[in-house]
Structure 1
Amino acid sequence: MSHSRAAEDEVDRLIAAWQQERPDLDVTPLEVLSRVSRLSRHLDRARRAAFAEHDLESWEFDVLTALRRAGRPYELSPGALLRATLVTSGTMTNRIDRMVASGLVTRHPDPEDRRGVLVRLTAQGVERVDAAFAGLLRRERELLAGLGEREQRALAALLHTLLVPFDASDGGSH
């Protein structure tokens, strides 16, 4: 194996088993991609825990952050929210309804389109998403604590290189 860590991880054991069972195959891609996959699961758990601290579900965080990133007055059309969160229109309608009921967003007529509506963050929504985002960043810094600043930048650059072709092939919608 190409890394020189003293501690073994689950991927090391997986690679060793495949090398034993299938020495004819080059399992090198597993060293990177299996670790990325496992890390993704750990990150997903950490994110859900960060959101739960602020009584939010992952999908609520996605909608709230899309609105927050839009800038004042923190509003978007349901169509823009669909594109930002990659869900169906029925799912988005249901999500908006639930968030209106919980006081996180409101619906307003779109002054540019008499048939359209805009979804806007409430003061409570801004407060919750800002707190949840700060909590998420704190947890993500903890996850990256084993890497120095230079290593984090290098890893980010390498992951960027891997991700760009995927985003380009699906229109950059992720």
Structure 2
Amino acid sequence: MDWHVDQWEGEIPGFDRRVEGIAVRLQSLGRYLDRSRDAVLAKYEMQWWEFKTLHLLRRNGPPYQATPGELAKHLAMSPAALTNRVDALERRGYVERHHDRDDRRKILARLTPAGLDIWQRGIGDIQAVEQSLVRALPAPDQDQLEALLRTLLQSTDPETA
């Protein structure tokens, strides 16, 4: 990273070493986490979109269900595209559809025991990767980094932080 920053110094008007150093390191860490997560999910023959959908269902707490519309909103996708995702997860036995008992017109997607099991195994392995990375820093530095990243995120989107 330092080599990258050194190469651009003096080549770009208004170049700021500090800003470039931070930005390229954040990008590199993001790619590392993405690659690590994808490698974990490959062990379970899963794609990120599959895991993310199971993750949202699990986040809702028991009985781990949501309407397709709720899932589509949280995943920022169209209901039609989400229907295809739920179909694929249903074929794999990770999700089942059923009618809401209070409103038979409403369809709910629910984690199956197999879906919950694969989510639990996947999240455990993903957490291990994340913990390994963050624990390279002492606890006070972890706290400081978390606070600094929160501040940066708040400058881009207060709801995200």
| Partners of 1:112 and 1:85 in 2: CA distance | 25
> 1:146 pairs with 113, 136, 158, which one?
136
Match of 2:89 in 1: 99
Q: Please report the RMSD computed on the Cα atoms of aligned residues, expressed in angstroms.
A: 1.8
Amino acid at match of 2:42: A
> 1:49 pairs with 26, 30, 39, which one?
39
Match of 1:163 in 2: 153
| Partners of 1:12 and 1:127 in 2: CA distance | 43
Question: 1:54: Cα distance to partner?
Answer: 2.1
Match of 2:123 in 1: 133
Give CA deviations for 1:21-80 in whole Å, capped at 9, x if unaligned.
347533321111111011111110001111122222101111111111111100011111
What secondary structure is seen at the aligned counterpart in 2 of 1:87? coil
**Identity in percent:** 35
Contact 1:83 1:173 in 2 (8 A): no
Gaps of 5+ in 1: 1-10
Compared CA separation, residues 162 and 24, structure 1 to 2 (3 A): closer
Amino acid at match of 1:67: L
What secondary structure is seen at the aligned counterpart in 2 of 1:103? coil
| Partners of 2:115 and 2:103 in 1: CA distance | 25
Compared CA separation, residues 83 and 151, structure 1 to 2 (3 A): same
Tell me how many residue pairs correspond in the alignment: 161
What secondary structure is seen at the aligned counterpart in 1 of 2:106? strand
Match of 1:25 in 2: 15
Pairs within 5 Å for 1:31-70: 31-70=21-60
Compared CA separation, residues 50 and 102, structure 1 to 2 (3 A): same
Amino acid at match of 2:100: D
Amino acid at match of 2:94: L
Bigger Cα displacement from structure 2, 108-117 vs 88-97: 108-117
Contact 1:107 1:120 in 2 (8 A): yes
| Partners of 1:80 and 1:21 in 2: CA distance | 48
TM-score of the two chains, using structure 1 as the length reference: 0.85
Amino acid at match of 2:149: L
Compared CA separation, residues 151 and 173, structure 1 to 2 (3 A): closer
